């Protein structure tokens, strides 16, 4: 019975890790979409776009690590 509980706990941990990995991937995709949009419109948006692009690149690099 102890083995069964151990396997169940391991399955729960794997599921939790998988969910976290999926959320991380979704976050990185959102950052990539935001960056792409800002890059396309940076001439129209001006200096704030440059600041946002730099910030999102730092956040994206952190999320990838």
Percent of the chain with pLDDT over 70: 85
Residues 39-60 pLDDT 10s = 999 999 899 889 988 988 887 7
Distance, in Å, from the CA atom of 38 to the CA atom of 53, rounded to the nearest integer, reads 7
Q: Where are the alpha helices (H) located in the chain, listed in sequence order? A: 2-45, 47-64
Question: What are the boundaries of each domain within the chain?
Answer: 2-64
Per-residue confidence band for 62, with pLDDT thresholds at 50, 70 and 90: low
Say if pTM beats, i.e. exceeds, 0.85.
no
Tracing tokens 């792409």 back to the chain, one arrives at 36
> Which pLDDT score is estimated for 13?
87
């Amino acid at each position: 019975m102890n083995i069964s509980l151990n396997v169940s706990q391991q399955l729960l941990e794997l599921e939790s890790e998988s969910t976290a990995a999926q959320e991380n991937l979704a976050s990185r995709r959102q950052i990539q979409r935001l960056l792409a949009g800002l890059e396309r419109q940076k001439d129209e948006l001006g200096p704030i776009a440059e600041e946002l692009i730099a910030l999102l690149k730092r956040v994206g690099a952190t999320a990838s690590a």
